[in-house]
Amino acid sequence: MLQQGRIRASYRTDLVTVLLGTWFSLGLFLDAWAHSNVPELETFFTPWHAVFYSGFAATAAWILWQVWRNLQDGRRGLAAVPQGYGPAVVALPVFAVCGFGDYLWHTFIGIEQGIDILFSPTHLGLITSMIVILTTPLRTAWAEGGSPSFARFLPAALALSFATALVLLFVQYADATVYGAEGVVRAFSFEKGQGGSGGANRLAASIVVTNVVLLTPLLLAVRRFRVPVGTATLLQVVVMLLSTAVANYENLEIAAAFVVSGVVADVLLWKLRPSEERLREYRVFAAVVPLVMWVLYFAVAGVSAGRMPSVTEMWTGAPVVAALHGLLLAVVFVPARRS
């Protein structure tokens, strides 16, 4: 029997996959907003769930259609599944089972409206399988690597951005992007003799977590691709569009600071051309991007609130800590130059 090789999905196929994934993702964020802001939410059958699950149905139908079409062309087994689409084919039934489980959970246990939404087992199953499905175009691109143009890389970049936004959504209790300017200033303003407060500890921990979540996708992508300029800005725009919705549009000035930091990261991508081979530039990129991001964060918060946080060590030291964490990530991802 002739061995059949795997085929690569076309650019158009990947683009449709990521556009349907956009519908799917927006449905989830609408549902997350409703859980946080609609106190009378008492049923599984809501308009937000309708958007979410219809987005899943459309995405699933499209991916399965690709496999069916290849079967009709005579391909069998894995040869009928395009490169990068295999994990999504496995994740589709997992998502469907978790969705039914979520219906039973809401019916018999209740509707979550606080931090418990982020720990519900059915929600964790949904988000995990959803990320596997959404990152399909990224896996397609990963198989090739190289130096794609921005247009060519767009499906992969959008997939990377949505996956980042979903991860940040599920660590919402440690998400520094949802703070408003007053919240940032208030958290880092305390009497030094009292050693800080729960608010200061929470913001400090949130900066660490958010920094890792936002920086990791870029550092991984830079290892595999000559990432096209515009990718970092796109990532920040997608993440901020979704985080502002979850925060009920109360963090717009902070969101703008993150988008500007994305533009700076793109300039650094262009100037430094970081990669595994250009290790020094890779590490400089990993340290400077978070430093700029959090300097802008505190600068915008201070300007918007009309004052800086009262404890100078906190707002001057937090960006340095973030830069050191970025450098550490770079050292872990690429310990040494490839010989």
Per-10-residue mean pLDDT, the chain, length 339:
74 94 86 70 72 92 94 87 94 94 84 80 92 95 88 95 92 92 94 78 96 96 92 95 79 94 97 93 97 97 95 95 97 84
Quick check: 44 and 184 in contact, CB under 8 A? no
> What pLDDT, on the 0 to 100 scale, is given for residue 49?
80
C-alpha neighbours within 13 Å on the C-beta side of residue 201: 5
The tokens of 258 are what? Answer: 């993150």
pLDDT for residue 269:
95
* Spatial contact of 283 and 327, defined as CB atoms under 8 Å apart: yes
Question: How many residues would you count in the chain?
Answer: 339
Phi, psi angles (nearest 5°) of residue 248: 60, 35
The confidence score (pLDDT) of residue 48 equals 77
Helices 47-72 and 121-134 sit at what angle, rounded to 10 degrees? 40
Give the alpha-carbon dihedral of 287, 288, 291, 292, to 10 degrees. -160
Integer angstrom CA distances of residue 8 from 21, 79, 90, 209, 268: 19, 10, 18, 35, 32
Which helix (H) or strand (E) is 22 found in, with range? helix 11-37
Rounded Cα distance, 100 and 256, in Å = 38
Residue from 296, 283, 46 nearest 37 by CA: 46
Q: Report pTM.
A: 0.89
For the chain, what are the domain ranges? 1-144, 148-338
Of 230, 334, 213, the C-alpha closest to 282 is: 334
CA distance 311 to 300: 17
Rounded to whole angstroms, the Cα distance separating 93 from 169 reads: 23
**pLDDT at residue number 30:** 81
Distance CA 89, CA 92 (A): 6
- On whether the CB atoms of residues 158 and 17 are closer than 8 A, the answer is no
pLDDT of residue 282: 96
Q: Give the pLDDT confidence score for residue 77 in this predicted structure.
A: 82
